[in-house]
Amino acid sequence: MKILGISAFYHDSAAALIDSGEIVAAAQEERFTRKKHDPGFPANAVKFCLEYGGIGINDLDAIVFYDKPLLKFERLLDTYYAFAPKGIRSFITAMPVWIKEKMFLKRLINEELVKLGYDKKKAVKMLFPEHHLSHAASAYYPSRFDKAAILTVDGVGEWATASICLGEGKDISILKELRFPHSLGLLYSAFTYFLGFRVNSGEYKLMGLAPYGNPDSPDIKRYEEIILKELVDLKEDGSVWLNQEYFDYATGLKMVNEAKWEALFGFKTRRPEDPLEAVHCNLGLAIQQVTEEAVIRMAREAKKLTGADYLCMAGGVALNCVANGKLQKAGIFKDIFIQPAAGDAGGALGAALAAYHIFAGKERKATTLADSMKGSYLGPTFSDLEVELMAKKYKGVYTHFDDLKSLCDESARLLAEGNVVGWVQGRMEFGPRALGGRSILGDPRNAEMQKKLNLKIKYRESFRPFAPSVLAENCADYFDYDGISPYMLLVHPVAESRRMPVPANYNDLDLREKLYFQRSDLPSITHIDYSARIQTVHKETNPRYWELIHSFRNLTGYGVIVNTSFNVRGEPIVCTPNDAYRCFMRTEMDYLVVGNFLFDKKKQPEWMEKDNWKEEFVLD
């Protein structure tokens, strides 16, 4: 049974194909169109999935969309009615789009599929599971658990903003829901907006900023008290009640009432390129801690309702890897599985899996691995011929390696010498994290590497941390964690033995002074609070990346490297060899490795394209 899942028309549109319950392919549309968080119909992603699966669109048994548009429309109408006359401007803006397009979404999807060769006479079944069921299915079905609690938390789907479900065998039962306008995800996004980051893409920046707050400052406690007294009532079960006097997202065109928030916290709404000050960092830490407490309370409620030993998570809030690490440390469950494409893109996969197991009633297949996501390497790959044609197009100069060990030994040597290396191998990752398929790599021992990567390669804010990729078998040598984290979704402390003490006046230093203080023998991946967002690399799912880190360990004694996504600020992660070479030549990257081909920046012809990535990509 072949099923295509689709998510679209909000943000992070994507497509996924399953065949008899096995995940065949999945990709986000942004990787093909080069428009970050592309919300449009995922025509390119659909085309890729079908081609990779070796089938035509008319061979499908079902096409599944990741939510119920009419239920979402009902929520919009009810919300505007409840808040009337407030929100008339937003109502006038939103309604024409809904009436013209989204009310008739099934017709719109059909029209897009016809462009791809779909024959409507075939009458392939089209299904519309609820948004949070799609999230729940994306987390539970790929996990190795026979029975698990499922926690989904995001901004909003149709009505639900969070859900607790029980997954058992092939079935998922929804046990409890939190409903709009009360939402932990929207609360976090409101602070994202107030602190000057872009909603629906800048939440991870807020998470990275939070540790720069001074935990000893009285401001932290004061901000938390304001949040919990004025903005949100946090219940024992983790549910939240948001005081709508302070929020505009339900009926307005902004997340918050800026004047009221400014009066509440005592400083102005930060604009995107304004300098970051102590008040911003402290407020970031306060909302991060409130969020962590809410997630842990929700997990305790999930445990109480299900009695399950295991937990699966999805939804945008499940990408808050700091909260995930705290939840894991809390020991509420024996183990946790988090869907690597936890946001809306993963809804495409969840929708397909829900159709297969719930609608069609098909049993699950057991997996011998940690999960059935195949390391999340589910996107397009490339051939040697494509690399050669790309090199010919740009007159690129390369060295070709005949065997993997020689390639990895040379790449490890370049990293150890302080070079920044672009690494493009095999299938592209599905989800927001680069996991060694489309990555930029560096030496974690190099104290200047974080600064170099942020300012000269990624062209982004200097405070942003970088993640370590570590050989799975060596994880406990470097971090206070001996489990697995293949999808870079858990934050844990750097091992005590590797830390360097901070000066007595450390918390009085400004952000820049804190940033460049060396905190461990792995300075480029040790965040300001001695934490790291860990990716464990497994030979079973990515043998080429594992071999590279193994070569680096043989050379330096360290089985860990710096890994960040292969893109510049505002650009989607690269997909093709062509994307990679253009990004390589536009930045101060030193070397590029694509498959078995190594490109040295010093040997490349002058980059003649007069394009400007800052104009091509909207800064996020």
Radius of gyration of the chain (CA): 24
pLDDT digits (tens, 9 = 90+) for 213-264: 999 899 999 999 999 999 999 999 999 999 999 999 887 778 999 999 999 9
State residue 518's pLDDT score: 85
**Are the C-beta atoms of 235 and 241 separated by less than 8 Å?**
yes
> Does pLDDT of 126 surpass 90?
yes
Q: What is the DSSP string of 293-317?
A: HHHHHHHHHHHHHH--SEEEEESGG
- Hey, what's the torsion of the CAs at 574, 578, 581, 585, to 10 degrees? -100
Tokens of 434: 């680069």
pLDDT digits (tens, 9 = 90+) for 376-433: 999 999 999 999 999 999 999 999 999 999 999 999 999 999 999 999 999 999 999 9
Tokens of 24: 């065949």
CATH class of 1-136+344-364: alpha beta
DSSP-assigned beta bridge partners for residue 499: 520
State residue 513's pLDDT score: 73
pLDDT band at 366 (very low <50, low <70, confident <90, very high): confident
State residue 252's pLDDT score: 79
Token pair 């024996």 is at which residue? 334
Residue, of 508 and 559, whose pLDDT is higher? 559
Pairing of strands 531-537, 467-471: parallel
Q: CA separation (Å) from 141 to 144, 193, 251, 547?
A: 8, 34, 36, 30
> Does pLDDT of 208 surpass 80?
yes
- Hey, what's the torsion of the CAs at 414, 419, 420, 425, to 10 degrees? -10
Share of the chain above pLDDT 90, in %: 79
State residue 73's pLDDT score: 73
Helix axes 43-53, 105-115, angle to 10 degrees: 60
280 three-state secondary structure: helix
State residue 87's pLDDT score: 67
pLDDT band at 538 (very low <50, low <70, confident <90, very high): very high
DSSP code, position 455: I
Tokens of 291: 């969020």
**Are the C-beta atoms of 240 and 232 separated by less than 8 Å?**
yes
CA distance linking residue 38 with residue 33, whole number of Å: 8
CATH code of the region 384-616:
3.90.870.20
pTM to 2 decimal places: 0.94
Tokens of 500: 């360097």
CA distance linking residue 5 with residue 90, whole number of Å: 31
Share of the chain above pLDDT 70, in %: 96
pLDDT band at 273 (very low <50, low <70, confident <90, very high): confident
> Does pLDDT of 85 surpass 80?
no
State residue 474's pLDDT score: 97
* Average per-residue pLDDT for the chain: 93
CA distance linking residue 591 with residue 391, whole number of Å: 14
- Kindly state which CATH superfamily the domain 143-338 is placed in: ATPase, nucleotide binding domain (3.30.420.40)
State residue 81's pLDDT score: 63
List the chain domain ranges: 1-136+344-364, 143-338, 384-616
pLDDT digits (tens, 9 = 90+) for 540-585: 999 999 999 999 999 999 999 999 999 998 899 999 999 999 999 9
The sign of the torsion formed by the CA atoms of 133, 311, 287, 460 equals negative
**Nearest Cα residue to 126 out of 296, 431, 319, 352:** 352
CA distance linking residue 130 with residue 177, whole number of Å: 12
CA distance linking residue 311 with residue 297, whole number of Å: 13
State residue 53's pLDDT score: 98
Do domains 1-136+344-364 and 384-616 share one topology? The answer is no
pLDDT digits (tens, 9 = 90+) for 282-330: 999 999 999 999 999 999 999 999 999 999 999 999 999 999 999 999 9
The sign of the torsion formed by the CA atoms of 224, 230, 234, 239 equals negative
Helices (H), 331-436: 344-354, 384-394, 404-416
- Hey, what's the torsion of the CAs at 139, 145, 146, 150, to 10 degrees? -40
Q: What is the mean pLDDT of residues 75-98?
A: 71
